[in-house]
Amino acid sequence: MHKRLSLFPMNRDLCAVARYADLLCEYKLAHLFVPRYLRMEGYDVCRLDGGTHTSMSLTDYSKDKLRECDVLYIDYD
């Protein structure tokens, strides 16, 4: 069974993980969280890195949506 993985905060550095999510072993991407103040919910990942359209949408971070994932990867700069 695959664990549901979410990324926070979704930024240009993590776009490769979203683009090649099928290469993740034992994980399935659940949410690509962005801070709510950015107002980017619903936009495609390509909005962050300028690449091709991926059909993977960004999601505003919320406690309710956090409950839908098993693992949260936090990227600190």
Q: Calculate mean pLDDT across residues 70-77.
A: 91
Residues 6+ apart with CB under 8 A from 73: 5, 6, 7, 8, 14
b/e map of 7-18 (b: 16 or more CB within 10 Å)?
bbbbeeebbebb
20-64 pLDDT, tens digit per residue, is 999 999 999 999 999 999 999 999 999 999 999 999 999 999 999
Q: What is the pTM of this model?
A: 0.90
- The pLDDT-based confidence of 1 (bands split at 50, 70, 90) is confident
Q: Which domain holds residue 26?
A: 3-74
Number of compact structural domains in the chain: 1
Q: Name the residue type at position 57.
A: S
Predicted confidence at residue 76, as pLDDT, reads 85
